[in-house]
Structure formats: C-alpha cells, structure tokens
Structure 1
Amino acid sequence: MAAIHIGISGWRYTPWRGDFYPEGLAQNRELQFASRAVNSIEINGSFYALQTPERYANWYADSPQDFVFSVKAPRYITHILRLQDVHQPLANFFASGVLELKDKLGPILWQFPPSFTFNPELFETFLDQLPTDTEQAAALARQHEPRLNGKASMKAYANKPLRHAVEIRHESFVVPEFVSLLKRYRAALVIADTAGKWPYREDLTGDFVYMRLHGDKELYASGYTPEALERWGNRIEAWTHGKQPSDAQLIDPEQKPKPRKTREVFCYFDNDVKVRAPFDARSLLQRLGLDTALATEPGKPPAPGVLP
C-alpha cells in the first residue's frame, strides 16, 4: 500500500494553545509536538511571504525522521502576478529554502483565488516552468534575484521527483481541457472540500492524491462528524489502492486516470478557526490505523524524552 499522509495546514495558531497544545508548551516547541501528533503538515507561511533557508532547516530538524511537509507556494505568484511573468518569482521561491526540507519535501501546493479564471495558454506556460525534480528546482533557484544573494538555498542534496498540486476556485476550470492539461504535466487536481463554496471535483490527474478539507458545513470552522470522517477514510482507502470511488464527482468522466496499483495520498485539514483541524486529522489517522506510531496526543503533555 502507498503511503498515506494526514495532517494540518499550518501549526502556529493562538487558539490551539492550551487545547491541541498542552498548557505551558513553549511556542518554539509547537512544531515538535504537532509533527508527532500527525504524520504530515502543510507549510502555509510560505503562501504569505518568502521564508528563509534557516527556517526550513529548523523545521526539518524539529520533525521526525519519516515526516513529510507539503509547501504552499506564494500568493505573490498566484494571486498578485496571476501567473504573468513569474520566472523570477519562481526562482526566488525555490531559493528561499524549500530544498532545505531535503527528503521530507512533499508536494508543492498552488492555490488560485476565486477571481482567477482558466486561461489554457497562460496555465500551460506556468505548468511548463515548474521543476519536476529537485535538481531542476536547484537550477531554477540559482536564477534568483540579487536581493537574495547570501541568503539563498540552491542545493538539491539528492535528486528526487518534485510534485505539484493545483487548487481551483472558479467554475471556468471545470472543463475537460483543464483535466487534460494537468494530466499532461502530471499535476494533481486538489480535492477540496469547501462547504460547497467552490468547485469540488475528484479527477485523478497525477500519480498522487492531494486533499484539503476546509470544513463541510462552515468554511474553515466546522468540524467533521464521525460519519463524515468514515466517508473520507473510505475514499482515501480507494485512492490508495489505485481506485476511484464509484460516486466520484468528475470534471470529465471520459478521461480515465492512468491505471495504478497504488497512489500516495496527502490530506490536510484546514478547519482551524474552532480548533477542529488537529483533532479531525488525528481522528482520521485513528480511523485508518495510522496513529499507533505517533508519539504525542492532542491536548496531553508529551511523555518524558519524546520531544528533542
């Protein structure tokens, strides 16, 4: 069976302190705690501003050996430039320290705003610029702007595939041409539960599945019932075994996914407003029998010696 990664989008939230995080846990130990309560985390600070190589290196050091991070790409590229003239910003992003995650680097998430409409030519130009492995990412990073001189990371460490996931929020993307484009570049369409606010589709366009669960009743706030988590668990098990649920909601049912025995799955809960995300992630891990190897438990002090 392929790996299943279930976790949270971000980890530094004030309301989580004294709830998910035990009372008195130092803020600089929150990642150490969170990365031992779930088995993957989506870094989202990188969406708002470029981070630094030192910060990525610290995140690597603070997490367990078999941990995986996904990285949310900068909104400067997706929301402000809206994919226009993005070569230099792409170079800056990959030079900002992403490669310091080394073997813990998972997919890169590209989230587009609700006002961004599908332009096939523009979108293909963008996908064509994305590095497909860490050696390509390092080569791109070396083309960063001079302002990053002396504070850039440009080493691949070991060459490994680099995967990309695309989250859409406009109905214009719900066309077969978009599915074909993602499949051509082996990018995954994000399966995003957004309480019905934005398009929800489950076309399998890459060799992995990327899920973002923002809340099924109230965006970013509502938790998931045991029944809802059971449904998501069943879907994850189908995708992990290379299958597609029989009731999958597809953009183009005519485009069959490439047959695979397994698919790696990444699932992140983003319903953080009412401190539901970490508990829902943990419940789903338990549902799938993936909690036994985890060393910390939500709201409970870690056992002595568990945290570095």
Structure 2
Amino acid sequence: MEFGKTDPEQLKSINLSLPPEPVANKALLAKSNKKEQKIYVGCPEWGKKEWVGKFYPSGTQEKDFLYAYARLFNCIELNTTYYQIPAVAQVQKWRATAGPGFKFCPKFPQFITHVQRLTNCMAETIAFINAISAFEDSLGPLFLMPHPQMGPNALGIIEKFIAKLPADLDLFLELRHPLWFANGLNKQLYDMARHYDVGLIITDAAGRRDCVHMYLTKPEAFIRFVGNELHPTDYARIDEWVNRIKLWLDEGLPSLYFFMHQHNRVDAPVLNKYLVEKLNEVCHLHLPVPQMHDAQGVLF
C-alpha cells in the first residue's frame, strides 16, 4: 500500500499520535449493545509466497494459502474484488475454505468507484452485491472508496449512490481528498453517514495524518493501519491504538475491524501478532494469537 508513504527519516518529525476522542463517539456508543463484542484482525491479502515457512507452514501450496491464512486471522480486507467481480461459485469456495466465524470485507470494484465514479453503474453494482451475498454469514462490512479526486463537491453523488444500496448492507466509506479534512472532518459528510448508518473508515498512515479523523458514525469501527516496515514507531502507534480501542470497548463498541498494511506488503502479520497480544493484555481479551513458524515449520 503506497498511500501515506513517507521517508523513514521524516518519521522523527511527524506527530504520529492519535487525535483527541470526539465527544460524539461516547453518546453514540452509549446506545449500542455491549453484550457481545467482536474484534476482527486481518491483512489486505492472503497470497504472499514470502509467508511460507514464516507465517504459513513450510511446504504450503498456493492453493492452500487462504486456508492457512484463516488459521491465523479471522478476517480479510478483500481487495481482489476491486479488480474483478467474482463468480458466485468462487465466493462460495472462499467461504467454505475459510470456515465458520471468518469475515470477508469486500472492496467495491474500481469500475464502479474509479472509472464511473459512482454514476451510471447500477448494473455493475447489483452484480457485485449479488456475488458477495454468497458469503452469507461470512460477509463483513463492505468497503467503498470513491476516486481520491472526489472531494466535498461530490458529496451529492456519493449520497445518491449510497441511497440506492440495500439498507441492510454493512457499509464503510473511505475518502482521501484532503478537503474532506481541511477543517476537521467535514460536517456534511458526518451527518450524511449518520443518516444512512454508514461507517467512516479511519486510515492511519504516517504521511496522511488528516485521515486519522477518529469519528465513529455507527457502533462499529473499521481501521486501516499503514505501517513502515516494522519501524519502532509502528509499535508505539499500535500501543496507542490499543488504548483507544480499550476506551471504545469500555464505552460499548460492539465490533471492530483492524486491517494491517505495510508498504512492503510482507511484514503485516508480525505487527498483527503484536496487536493481538497487546489487546489481550490491555483489554483483558482472549483473542487467539497468530502463531509463526521457523524455517522447518515448527510453531513458536
């Protein structure tokens, strides 16, 4: 993931701390159901050959990567749907391979978001929703990222598109145009998201601190964390996130999705392991800790 990439030397001069907690979050979470709280931790892909012998057992074949991935994590940011709408049979196969309790979080296809920019694409949108519906109870939040050039002047287009979607979709929106955050989070965007029960993705990248807005617009959180190849600041940032997540859980947050990115696309599981261990320690959870392998495939 290249978004928010910065030179490692510049990390020393960037304020990487999280912004203050918005007051509105507490009121929103107070209305939620705290009886069953779910934490989902994952990566944006499962098919890294470099993970064999380190995160996957030695000898794991490419056809078995998803099965091995689902033994480590309980969700996936499904970016493959950005490039092509999958066949229903493929979706059903993915669901069966991952097994019960696993969540797929599909990204809207680029034809819809970047080529058509959310206009004149209803046939493709229906085809996409029909396909991913085959995930059934394994379907997590959908990830809608309009073209980065779509700023506040495109809010009407975005709202019109969202209004046509099935109301029962668990939808999250990521916006990247800087003007959405020019004076804090755009109020019209916040109000629209609240009205349609749409979540706003929080993207934490070193080079785009404006996107770390920290606003919850529904009782659910979707975080995309972009690390810097296991730089010491990655761990310090995760520590701060764990403390914020504890606050949200204490205030009643029912579910949270946390997706770990690295620019080199290799080391994300290492930081995810650290994240899960810290969540268990600080938040008194009992999440399964992802196990790594040595060169012989032995767990440690």
TM-score by length of 2: 0.77
Take 1:274 and 1:293, find their aligned partners in 2: how far apart are those partners?
23
- Of 204, 212, 219 in structure 2, the residue corresponding to residue 207 of structure 1 is 219
Alignment of 1:181-260 (within 5 A): 181-197=192-208, 199-215=211-227, 218=228, 221=229, 225-242=234-251
Pair 81,274 (structure 1): closer, same or farther in 2 beyond 3 Å:
closer
Alignment of 1:277-296 (within 5 A): 277-289=268-280, 293=288
Take 2:292 and 2:146, find their aligned partners in 1: how far apart are those partners?
32
- Identify the residue that residue 125 of structure 1 maps to in structure 2: 160
Superposed displacement of residue 302, structure 1: 7.7
Take 1:225 and 1:267, find their aligned partners in 2: how far apart are those partners?
14
1:175-220: per-residue Cα shift (whole Å, max 9, x none)?
21111111111111101012223632111111211101122xx4xx
Contact 2:40–2:74 (CA<8 Å) still a contact in 1? yes
Amino acid across the alignment from 1:207: P
Q: 1-10 or 182-191: which moved more? A: 1-10
Take 1:24 and 1:33, find their aligned partners in 2: how far apart are those partners?
11
Amino acid across the alignment from 1:208: E
Superposed displacement of residue 69, structure 1: 1.6
Contact 2:117–2:147 (CA<8 Å) still a contact in 1? no
| 1:116 equivalent in alignment to 2:125 | no
| 1:176 equivalent in alignment to 2:183 | no
Superposed displacement of residue 291, structure 1: 6.4
Alignment of 1:1-308 (within 5 A): 1=34, 2-95=37-130, 97-118=131-152, 119-133=154-168, 162-174=169-181, 175-197=186-208, 199-215=211-227, 218=228, 221=229, 225-242=234-251, 261-271=252-262, 273-289=264-280, 293=288, 297-299=291-293, 301=297
Say what the alpha-carbon RMSD is for the aligned residues: 2.1
Structure ranking higher in helix proportion:
2
Superposed displacement of residue 55, structure 1: 1.4
Take 1:82 and 1:16, find their aligned partners in 2: how far apart are those partners?
35
1:59-115: per-residue Cα shift (whole Å, max 9, x none)?
1111131122211111111111111112111111112x2112111111000123332
Contact 2:204–2:224 (CA<8 Å) still a contact in 1? yes
**Quick one: percent identity of the two aligned structures?**
25
1:35-57: per-residue Cα shift (whole Å, max 9, x none)?
11112111110011111111111
Superposed displacement of residue 292, structure 1: 5.2
TM-score by length of 1: 0.75
Take 2:119 and 2:170, find their aligned partners in 1: how far apart are those partners?
22
Amino acid across the alignment from 1:297: Q
Pair 183,302 (structure 1): closer, same or farther in 2 beyond 3 Å:
farther
Superposed displacement of residue 276, structure 1: 1.6
Q: Secondary structure at the match of 2:142?
A: strand
Tell me how many residue pairs correspond in the alignment.
251
Q: Secondary structure at the match of 1:266?
A: strand
Take 1:239 and 1:59, find their aligned partners in 2: how far apart are those partners?
31
Contact 2:104–2:139 (CA<8 Å) still a contact in 1? yes
Pair 112,275 (structure 1): closer, same or farther in 2 beyond 3 Å:
same
Take 1:129 and 1:31, find their aligned partners in 2: how far apart are those partners?
33
Amino acid across the alignment from 2:135: L
Q: Secondary structure at the match of 1:270?
A: strand
Contact 2:142–2:170 (CA<8 Å) still a contact in 1? yes
Take 1:92 and 1:101, find their aligned partners in 2: how far apart are those partners?
14
